[in-house]
Structure 1
Amino acid sequence: MSVAVAVPPVSAVETEKVTPKATQPQINDQIPHLKDIQLPPTNAQLLTQDTEDTPETPEANQDADIELDVIGTPLVNFIEERQQSPTGVIILDQKEIQRFNYRTVGEVLRRQPGVVLGGPPGEDKDVRLLGLPKEYTQILINGQRFPDGGENREFKVDRIPVSLVERIEIISNPTATQNSQGVAGTINIILKKAPDSRISDLTITGTTSETVGPFGGVSLLYGDKQGDFSYLISAGVQQREAPKDKFKQTLDIQNRPTQTERENEDKSQLDISIAPRFVWRVSSRDTLTFDPLFLQTEEEKDATRNVNNQRFFAPSGRLQELQEQTVKIDEDKTITGWRLGGSWERQLSATADMKLGLLFQSTDETKDKVEITEGITNTFRNAAGSPLNQRRNTGTIKRESETKTDEELLGTLTFNFQPWENHKIIVGFEGSLRDREKKKITTEQQTVPTLTPAVERTAPKDIYTIEENQLNVFIQDEIRLGEKHTLTAGLRMEMVDNKATAGDSSTIEQSGTTFNPSLHYKYRVFPTTVFRLSAARTIRRPKFDDFIPFRDTKNGTLLQPDVIGNPLLKPETSLGLETGIEQSWGNNTGAFGLNAFYRWVDDKIENEVNFNPENNRFEQSPRNVGDGKVYGLRLDVQTRTPFLGLPNLTLFGNVSFLGSEVEDQRTREIRRFKEQPAYVANLGFDYVIPEWGMNFGLTYNILPGFENRELKDGKTEVTKQAGENSLDAYMAFRLADNVQLSLFGKNLLAAERSKDRTVFSSTGVFENSRIERETAERLYGISLSWQF
């Protein structure tokens, strides 16, 4: 469950470790590696003695078998991994993923320490580690970034179905072997691997909501090993429905509604995913791996929005104008991403090996949107009773056609070797060529009183191309200092060259090099107690369209400044410190973790409005405005409870206290990072009934509200968002040795997103307030899994 566990740093980039000869077991014993760890099932009883002092019993193994079967994963105790690893990482295994019948990776991550999910309620697509904006979190698939359509370099994790996933790692402070673009942290999604023996699983899921009929999906997992060749076929198709009700209302200084908006939205998504893997051991020293990936999401969105706008005479307060509009939105989007990747691993000697990897990946996103507006505008006279003065009909059609293409060619070369008994050194090289292109065409035409020709409304930054080439070099040394101390030190150099071309063919080039050191220290205080301390430098690169050389000409005033790009924008950099203590007990059936973190963020990027004396106009552009701080505390626990007389009950929970500071460039006030809550917490339990062959449980997510201040169009916008709590539950039955049935419910509290926005003028005078409400529906489902 949501337990902070630890793995060796190279597991996050899937680099195979050196396997010493049998004549050198002491080297492997001193610094174990993930692939070398073979752990037995753990006892279900709460014991005080160490693991090695406690023999297993048949009853313990029998109780463990009652839980959901996990296909394609060796039985590994992650609490034991936590104790042995030199660095700290949170691991989510397949039992955690499968137990609640999560559909996507986003639904899994919502329940983890320090994780906040952005996007509309119920969709869980934008990961926000430490509660920071999504651009501070890095998403990896098998240790490498995957291109996506977002301008913030984010990856929408709702696109990845859990049927493809072996496990998930949440890395708070990276090692030198990992990409540095994760100021808040990194999510590494590891896909299922080729097995050592035959595995097969067919899972069918059906889901329904309160207003949408049945929908569901099917996934297939099949793999085997024939001699020196092993393979895995992992594929799935699933449909997701996300109906929503939205309400917005704007009030003026007299508390009169100047705008009221109601919207009903139906969103349907179809995910198609294929992730095969082929491994061929060519010789005793050479292994070839081929692991392509295909992800496609087709999204259809239909919405009807009713908008009423009102204006009033001053000072009488009589109604001056009433505009009633009906807006119908039809939007179709397709995101297709694929990767062709392979690697060659060669054992150079008993204590050295190398890995050469090459992959090409591409994401194409297309969107077509039609927005039809029909309205009636009534104007009234400034007299008692506000008699009607004039009525006119209005109508427009707005069309958007958008395409985004993001392609990357990446090559990697890694060497692992042990020059001395207590050292393991990794040296690596990575080079990538990336091309990104965006083209968004917007047109608008009037339909009333007569149909007029379409007029193009394309913004200057809606068309661009970017070439981004990168070369990374890293070295890392894992050192055992005696029996209780482990030190992992590394240095990573990242060199980036950018060339950005705007729609008017204006071009700008930029290059830079960053050196990112990292240091991780582990001290085994007692056999079941580990203390950790780490430091690492990370970066956040600018949005793609921030350094495009464009100018969007507005009025040039403080309230409507011109919007321009900033080709001289520098990346944000951060130095992160983390320390924590981890305690296990009960034959590794319980664990407790307490971790504190502090990050200094330099060259923070924010939009800023400045007066340009050369053209006498106000301009808004992203700038490196100053420094910030992020800090907090994470606590997590998991334990079975025989001390309560309930040996089959497992309790788990986590709470993260989050804080940050950044100076407002306008008011000089100290405020938090955008939309960061004060804390986030999760509670849950899992209960096994052996004689019935079933288990059940629930998890409760607590997300408090927050207050955010933002400069927008020369005005200060203050947003207060209420808390969002959610509840998921499940019940699983073993119908036969190879058949499992699960019932589940998601978003059982029908989470509502509630925001109150207040707008102040450039002089700090109140102008208007706005309330927003958005509700997602409950989901109920059934899942049948057959291991054939």
Structure 2
Amino acid sequence: MRIKLFMGAALAPLALVTAAQAQEAQGPVTSVEDVIVTGRPVLRNRTDDTAPTLSYDREYFQRFEPLTVGDALKRVPSVTFLSDVLESDGARLRGLDPGYTKILIDGEEVPGAGVDRSFFVDRIPAELIERVEVVRSSSANRSGDAVAGTINIVLRDALSLDGGYVRLGAIMFPDSEYGEWGGTYGAVWGGEALGGRLLLGANVQDRRNPKNKYSQRFDEPGGTLDNTEVQTDVRDGTDYAFNAAYETEIGGGTFDVAGAFVRTDRVQDEDSIEYLGGIENAANLSTINDNDLDIQTDNLTVRTGYEREMFGGDTEFKLAYASISDEQYEFEGESEYRRDAIIFPDEDRYTLDSTTTDIQDEEWKAAIEHEIELSNGMELEFGLQGNWKTRDSLVTETPRIRFTVPNAPAPRPAVPAFGPSTPVPGGDVTIEENRLDPYVMLSGETGALTWEAGLRYETTDTTITDRTVAPADQVSESDEAELLPSFSLRYALSEDDRIIFSAARTVRRPSFNRLSPALLVEEFGDSDFVGNPDLKPEIATGFDLGFERRLGRRGVAGMNVFYRDVQDLVEETNTGQEGDGGPGTFIYTVDNVGDGKVYGVEFDLSTPLDFIGMESTGVFLNYSWLDSEITDFIGERRFNSQSDYVYSVGFTQDLPTWGAAFGASYRKQGDAFSRVLAEEVTTSYGADLEVFVEKQFGSNVVVRLTGSNLLDSSKDEVFDKFANEADQRNRVYDEYEVETEEAGPVYQLVMRVAF
């Protein structure tokens, strides 16, 4: 019923407009294409890159009005997420942990707040996108830490727009029957200025993700229901973004500079009520919990380059700076009511905790690269790339405040102020990581064959200073070097068909939280954990083999098979030392143990139906079958949290006579299983349906109505919890939990005006 109402409301504006041919656009074509109905389906690009690359221009995503890059990536092959409903943060290319996927902005590495070196793609508003490239295999001129592949987010540059547009919109979030309203506003202009080309853009958008959660906790599967928990989780915030780019000819070469600043200002409010025995009334109310998290994250990227002919070829000098500032304050208060026989509203005990997180991560990058044309259609490229990272992480907590009222209903004392905060174990750390990576790459083209072969030598010097451990153990250093060969070829079987093959050696560096030598008490059930500063990176050798066919004039279909052999996997191991909990508990660490395999098949289709006379109808289909093998402390499993499949299918229908269009997108990803010490989690997601309807007014205005999460998608998790490794092996449960999280649809009404 909700979908019917949405479609009716969306089509109502069309009935008010006389059916007529859309007026021919006036002004610069590049600016108008950003905001008006194009009259034909927008499809995936068929690139001529030698390395296997899928490219999607902003128009491919724009009609569904994604708020973030993460939302846009839901229509890209093999990208999964393990996020809350309405969230798309850590991109999991081929279903692997986000740390296996390299995220680039304009071809440059960017630091993220995550300890696994990943970057949350929902921190970048989709309005900044020029295009998104999915690079399935590595080349020597890019960083080699891309086991699963690379996602390159290309922002608008000084050449991407001639003219400008304004974007105004309203968003209805599913807080209640009538919703909670927010806004989205933006403006972009590009043109000639200051002796060159200039682009300026700004964007402000409200973000609100309200969800409901329900948990049931048993003593074991099929056993006694111990308690239930009813929870609301509202994430409310605003994103602010500004980007600029400038390009000019100077000194016989081309100089360009570009930058982007994004601020995420968010409050996460989780409120929950727990009931004993699953009887949800006042007599069985056990606890009331209030958990608030205030987040402010700033991302800044600035890059500049100068390219000119010299030394018999083209030389480019690059300098870039990227930083992330992540500041969080978390407050959690819990009231307990059933520690004695007196029921709610008389309280038995109150507990108050607070934690502050401050992460400052900066990276400087510099490079000099040179290309020379050789004989016989060959080209030589070589260069030196440097990356200097400094990451300061400070996580502090205040002394816990707890009031116990042994004889309720005695009044609770007034809550005093928190005492001075102190760093948590492993919470006061500085990491300095310096890389200097020379590379050389030879490429060529002979008839139907295009190829490239390269070598990259990555050196990494790391210094870790952990101020929460004994002075003698505070500083640890490591020096790693890896030789990373790569090879790709593209062979044209015909005008329409081609084969793409790529093989490469890639690397994944350890997560920051696994390097600190601090002791974390009860990190795994009743057992403790200590990091390992001597961890080596994981190394993967793999290949991609794909076939691609042109369909008609503009369509494309592709099939790709991939395989990765991952060595020196980082897994938890038992030191054999007794833990803080006494006999039966241990201290665990991580080490490079064992190997793993990742493999799968990827199919994508993007085409208009012009071969059956429907030139204004476009369809797309992406399906990826994903699998892997790894042996851990219990036995064989997949890589943690890898979905076994993901697919999306949809269509767009342009109505050129009316200057209108509509379309829909349906997405589903398979179950994901994770096993670590003392806990196992199986995660399932419901399907996601998105719909859009748009109408052009005049030559430079388009109004678009979109709806997402129209099926009220849910996230379902099953937790198997154990006290220790022995209990986990013997299936002696500490707790068995089933949790469901769901949210309603989100609607947007957006108007774009070109000028």
- TM-score under structure 1 length normalisation: 0.84
Q: Which has the higher mean CA deviation after the structures are superposed, 529-538 or 254-263? A: 254-263
- Retained in 1: the 8 A contact 2:527–2:579? no
User: 1: CA distance between counterparts of 2:487 and 2:505?
Assistant: 10
Distance 1:745 1:76 in 2: 22
- Output the CA distance in 1 between the equivalents of 2:168 and 2:240: 14
Quickly say closer, same or farther: Cα 1:112–1:197, change in 2 above 3 A: closer
Alignment of 1:666-685 (within 5 A): 666-667=633-634, 669-685=635-651
User: Does the CA contact (< 8 Å) of 2:31 and 2:162 recur in 1?
Assistant: no
Aligned-partner residue type, residue 398 of structure 1 = D
2:730 counterpart residue number: 764
Q: Give the aligned residue type for 2:129.
A: V
Instruction: Give the partner amino acid of 2:301.
Output: R
CA offsets, 1:288-340, max 9 Å, x none?
212122111101122211123569xxxxxxxxx97711111222110012133
Contact 1:424 1:478 in 2 (8 A): yes
Give secondary structure in 2 for the equivalent of 1:82: coil
Q: Can you give the 5+ residue segments of structure 1 that lack an aligned partner in the other structure?
A: 1-57, 312-320, 381-386
Say if 1:67 and 1:694, in contact at 8 Å, map to a contact too: no
Retained in 2: the 8 A contact 1:163–1:235?
A: no
Within-5 A mapping of 1:426-505: 426-443=381-398, 444-449=400-405, 450=413, 454=418, 458-480=423-445, 482-504=446-468, 505=471
Aligned to 1:374: 335
Query: Quick one: structure 1 residues 486 and 248, their matched pair in 2 at CA, closer, same or farther if it must change by over 3 Å?
Result: same
Q: For residue 259 of structure 1, report the CA deviation from its aligned partner.
A: 2.9
Query: Contact 1:66–1:688 (CA<8 Å) still a contact in 2?
Result: no
- Show the counterpart of 1:275: 243
Aligned-pair Cα RMSD in Å: 3.0
Q: Confirm or deny: 8 A CA contact 1:323 1:378 kept in the other structure.
A: no
1:221 has 2:188 as partner: yes
325, 330, 336: which is aligned to 2:298? 336
Q: Distance in 2 between matches of 1:242 and 1:723?
A: 17
Distance in 1, matches of 2:702 and 2:115, equals 42
Deviations 1:387-407, CA, capped at 9 Å, x for gaps: 99xx96100111111111001
After superposition, the Cα gap between the structure-2 partners of 1:76 and 1:413, relative to the gap in structure 1 and judged at 3 Å, is farther
**What is the 5 A alignment of 1:61-100?**
69-70=33-34, 82=46, 84-100=48-64
Task: Please tell me whether residue 325 in structure 1 is matched to residue 325 in structure 2.
Answer: no
SS state at 1:292 partner:
strand
Change (3 A) 1:300 1:77: closer
Corresponding letter in the other structure for 1:426: E
Corresponding letter in the other structure for 2:128: L
Deviation at 1:81, TM superposition (A): 6.3
Structure 1 residue 437 displacement after superposition: 0.8
- For 1:77 and 1:323, how far apart are their aligned partners in 2? 56
Letter in 2 for 1:446: R
- The count of corresponding residues between Structure 1 and Structure 2 is 699
Matching of residue 412 in structure 1 with residue 352 in structure 2: no
Deviation of 1:410 after TM superposition, in Å, equals 1.3
Which amino acid is 2:438 matched to? V
Tell me which of 189, 193, 196 is aligned to 2:153: 189
Q: Specify whether residues 754 and 537 from structure 1 end up closer, same or farther in structure 2 by C-alpha distance, changes over 3 A only.
A: same
Q: Check if 1:621 corresponds to 2:589.
A: yes
Give the letter for the 1:571 counterpart.
P
The amino acid that maps onto 2:567 is: D
Deviations 1:326-362 (A, max 9, x none): 111222110012133211112226x611111112222
State which of 610, 626, 637 in structure 1 corresponds to 2:575.
610
Deviations along 1:227-263, whole A, 9 cap, x unmatched?
A: 8411000111111110011111111147222232111
For 2:69 and 2:741, how far apart are their aligned partners in 1? 23
Aligned to 2:4: none
In 2 relative to 1, CA 281–564 (structure 1 residues): closer, same or farther, beyond 3 Å?
same
**Is 1:734 aligned to 2:699, yes or no?**
no
2:530 counterpart residue number: 564
Decide whether aligned partners of structure 1 residues 452 and 166 sit closer, same or farther in structure 2, where only a CA change above 3 A counts.
Answer: closer
Deviations 1:195-245 (A, max 9, x none): 387311111121102324211211111011248411000111111110011
The structure-2 alpha-carbon separation of the partners of 1:85 and 1:439, relative to structure 1 and needing over 3 Å to count, comes to closer
The answer as to 2:103 corresponding to 1:139 is yes
Residue 305 (structure 1) aligned with residue 272 (structure 2): yes
Q: Distance in 2 between matches of 1:306 and 1:80?
A: 47
Deviates more, 1:647-656 or 1:718-727: 718-727
Alignment pair present for 1:399 and 2:354:
yes
Query: 1:416-442: CA deviations, max 9, x gaps?
Result: 111324111211111122111111111
CA deviation profile, 1:703-723 (whole Å, cap 9, x unmatched): 1223333322xxxx3333334
Match of 2:230, SS state, is strand
> What is the aligned partner in structure 2 of residue 316 from structure 1?
none
Asked whether the 8 Å contact 2:32–2:754 carries over to 1, the reply is no
2:86 match: 122
- Asked whether the 8 Å contact 1:353–1:416 carries over to 2, the reply is yes
Q: Determine if contact 1:68/1:95 at 8 Å carries over to the other structure.
A: no
1:520 corresponding residue in structure 2: 488
2-structure distance, mates of 1:338, 1:178: 21
> Which runs of 5 or more structure 2 residues have no equivalent in the other structure?
1-20, 406-412
Deviation at 1:554, TM superposition (A): 5.0
Percent of matched pairs sharing the same residue: 26
Contact 2:161 2:199 in 1 (8 A): no
Contact 1:759 1:766 in 2 (8 A): no
1:5-61 CA-to-partner distances (Å, cap 9, x unmatched) read xxxxxxxxxxxxxxxxxxxxxxxxxxxxxxxxxxxxxxxxxxxxxxxxxxxxx99x9
Is structure 2 residue 317 aligned with structure 1 residue 356? yes
Q: Aligned with 2:374: secondary structure?
A: coil
Alpha-carbon contact 1:83-1:528 (below 8 Å) kept:
no
Report the CA distance between 1:777 and its aligned residue.
2.2
Distance 2:489 2:42 in 1: 20
User: CA 1:673–1:78 in 2, change beyond 3 Å: closer, same or farther?
Assistant: same
Q: Return closer, same or farther for 1:452/1:198 CA change in 2, 3 Å cut-off.
A: closer
Structure-2 residue corresponding to 1:250: 217
How far apart, CA to CA, are the structure 2 residues paired with 1:448 and 1:132? 45
